[in-house]
Chain A
Amino acid sequence: MSAYHFNWFLAWQNFPRFYWGLALGLELAALCLFIGSLVGFAGALGRTHGPAWLRVGITSYVEFIRNVPLLLLVYFAFYGLPKIGVTALNNVWSFVAALSVYSGAYLTEVFRAGVNSVPVGYVEAGKAIGLTPWQRVRLVTLPVTFRIILPSLSNTFISLFKDTSLASALAVPELTYAAEWLNVNTFRTIEAWTFAAVMYLLAGYGIALALRRIERRYAVIR
């Protein structure tokens, strides 16, 4: 057993791989946050205003997804969907599909809490000045909800960003995959994983800091 010899040069040399991996992870997280928010807002409206069958359906979706491992969904999207006729998705898009469905369930809960905490008086005021139901959603409920749930959204974004590491299981070239690649191809094990871990930490806390500023900017004044 010889001691481990560090060689950071190879890791530096492959920095672009890590850098683009990080960028891809952030892109995937942002895309899934966006799609998940659409699902979440629709789900929240359906769950608060929809008919009984819709409420039951949305509740089952949320509970089911939240109690099943993400990796199972990711595998299902990649290996399962083609078997039932959905062959249009490659590894990146099937991961996006899985993570969007996953984040949609969590965001339904987030948006529901947000929609419920919009003061009734706002919606009534909207009715009073003659807004149609759709206008009330678009001009009153949505903007206020958005400002209320902004902190939850940024937390969700950061945890989605961390969840993009699972895309490496489908050989999507994001940050974890970059570390795996370096590990397998150069045996610079510790350098590779230190690099990846530090980049996840820096990116995560950097984003958290930036988002806190945005939250302060848009915070609901109560």
Chain B
Amino acid sequence: MTGIWHQIALALPQLLRGLRASLEISAIVLVAGSVGGFVVGLLLLYGGLILRLAARAYVDTVRGIPVLVLIFVCYFGLPALGLKLSAWEAGVTALSAFAAAHIAEIVRGGIDSIPRAQTDAAKAVGLNFWQRLRLVILPQATRRMLPPWVNAAVEIVKGSALLSLLGIVELLLSMQNVVGYTFIVLPFYLLTACFYFAVNFTISRTAALLERRFAYLKY
């Protein structure tokens, strides 16, 4: 038994480095996906016909294919088209594209849920488009978007595990490496699962709290 604890203690730094890599990837993807998703979401609502159709096609295509296929498309397909990407870049690009499509729907839904009369009222007092968005729509819509957005973060952390298939040493691949040389299986799977759980459960609890915090917003 002491042997196992000793091995776990020895392997812990490696797993923690993996965890840090996973969190880094997730943070970058969350930022990139949020920025992209916000833009695409606005295009879905306010774009001209062509932009709107393009945004719709993008969102429906990305949401219609598995993340793993999207990751492989970026990893194998983009270099074949002449775009040289490292595994890390390809993986982060794919996850960001995936996150952007999901967040775009969240943004669209959030803004769409604000009654039309709010926009009309803002128009009536003479606000232009960006002022309406910044001063009237977004302050209300953000509260609607926040809980699903935080849940999207859970999906992103879970999606980051798929990057182990590209050979990116994040938490899951670190664990596989550790299992590979220690031959200790169950404790390390459990430990890794607990790491993921700790991160994701914290995030989803936050989402639940936010949801309750903003539950009074009914109109």
Contact = CB atoms under 8 A, between A and B. Distances in A.
A55 to B, nearest CB: 18
A179 B69 CA distance: 9
Contact of B80 (A4, A66, A70, A204): A4
Contacts of A70: 158, 161
Interface residues of B, number: 36
Contact of B69 (A67, A68, A189, A197): A197
Contact of A79 (B161, B185, B192, B201): B185
B201 A76 contact: no
A165 B82 contact: no
A83 interface: yes
A3 B189 CA distance: 44
A72 B189 contact: yes
Interface in A128-174: 162-166, 168-169
The contact size tier of chain A is 35 or more
A66 B182 CA distance: 28
Contacts of B154: 67
A180 B77 CA distance: 12
A180 B71 CA distance: 12
Contacts of B146: none
B43 to A, nearest CB: 21
A28 B23 CA distance: 31
B76 A165 contact: no
Interface string A13-30: 000000000000000000
Contacts of A190: 77, 80-81
Interface of B: 61, 64-69, 72-73, 76-77, 80-82, 154, 157-162, 164-165, 172, 176, 179, 185-186, 189, 192-193, 196-197, 200-201, 204
Given A168-B68, A197-B69, 8 more contacts: A4-B80, A66-B204, A165-B66, A169-B165, A180-B72, A190-B81, A196-B69, A201-B65
Interface of A: 1, 3-4, 63-64, 66-72, 75-76, 79-80, 83-84, 162-166, 168-169, 176, 179-180, 183, 189-190, 192-193, 196-197, 200-201, 204-205
